[in-house]
Structure 1
């Protein structure tokens, strides 16, 4: 698979380690975000880039890293069609894919150690979405998102 990995300045060191690990698993990696020379990089832009790369089929899945993983998950999920899940254990990583068909997982560099991060990522990447009962639930999420987007196109703000 082609995996997009992105981080803000809080997780750049973790990103380097994760990139090497994902490549060792046989995946191609595309990097997003800053580098060691960046003083600060805002996570929303990185999350949007990775989400949009998935939607445009430039990459298959994404791994986003920030201080907690939470901001990245919120931002990435704003890209229409993207489901991002914060995962700090292998069970959640597996379920993110098997139950939710999440295209992106997020991790927090200030929350998780490198060895556990590798286990979480490996479990996520080896898991596939089986469909079944979960497909019905994921479709409900997709349908609601489309409803909100259509409402906005029609000039109605359903968020008020």
Structure 2
């Protein structure tokens, strides 16, 4: 991955800021969609939408969302067609979410896992390649499901 969009709510702000520094040290270009401070509460849905649209429109290679648990962000991100977002709290899941499902938006909870684990999970996700092969038809099924239930402008 060469370019990643990242966003958080107020609960994930500090972890996001530190992760941005780490990503840049790995040579990754970072598109920070906000917030710019943690001084006031921030709604996670618009942040998840901004990151996910950038991923879905191929403006970036992947997205990272951090909130208190990662759950709200993952639900919001998955509302955008083409997004495969999940909460990841361990290295095994980070690897297989990327290799088998080609997870394109990584969601984490700053109140659930430490910043060190956030860094390690991100590194594993970034460094893992999609396996392809037998997993391609499964991703096609996900796209078919999206086409079946999602229409432009919603239902």
**Is the contact between residue 108 and residue 118 of structure 2 (CA under 8 Å) also seen in structure 1?**
yes
Stretches of structure 1 that go unaligned for 5 or more consecutive residues are: none
Q: Which position in structure 1 is the counterpart of 2:11? A: 10
Q: SS of the residue aligned with 1:65? A: strand
Deviation at residue 80 of structure 1 after TM alignment: 0.9
Moved more, 133-142 or 29-38: 29-38
Deviation at residue 27 of structure 1 after TM alignment: 0.4
Deviation at residue 40 of structure 1 after TM alignment: 1.1
Runs of 4 or more consecutive aligned structure 1 residues displaced over 4 Å after TM superposition: none
Q: Which position in structure 2 is the counterpart of 1:126? A: 127
**Is the contact between residue 70 and residue 106 of structure 1 (CA under 8 Å) also seen in structure 2?**
yes
Separation (CA, whole Å) in 1 of partners of 2:135 and 2:57: 24
Q: SS of the residue aligned with 1:15? A: helix
Stretches of structure 2 that go unaligned for 5 or more consecutive residues are: none
Q: Which position in structure 2 is the counterpart of 1:30? A: 31
Deviation at residue 117 of structure 1 after TM alignment: 0.9
**Is the contact between residue 61 and residue 104 of structure 1 (CA under 8 Å) also seen in structure 2?**
yes
Q: SS of the residue aligned with 1:122? A: helix
Q: SS of the residue aligned with 1:140? A: helix
Deviation at residue 128 of structure 1 after TM alignment: 1.2
Equivalence map 1:16-95=2 (5 Å): 16-36=17-37, 38-95=39-96
User: Which protein has the larger Cα radius of gyration, Structure 1 or Structure 2?
Assistant: 1
Alignment coverage as a number of residue pairs: 154
CA RMSD for the aligned pairs?
A: 1.6
TM-score, structure 2 as length reference = 0.94
**Is the contact between residue 10 and residue 109 of structure 1 (CA under 8 Å) also seen in structure 2?**
yes
TM-score, structure 1 as length reference = 0.91
Q: SS of the residue aligned with 1:33? A: coil
Separation (CA, whole Å) in 2 of partners of 1:61 and 1:38: 27
Separation (CA, whole Å) in 2 of partners of 1:3 and 1:97: 15
Deviation at residue 37 of structure 1 after TM alignment: 5.3
Separation (CA, whole Å) in 1 of partners of 2:103 and 2:38: 31
**Is the contact between residue 33 and residue 41 of structure 1 (CA under 8 Å) also seen in structure 2?**
no
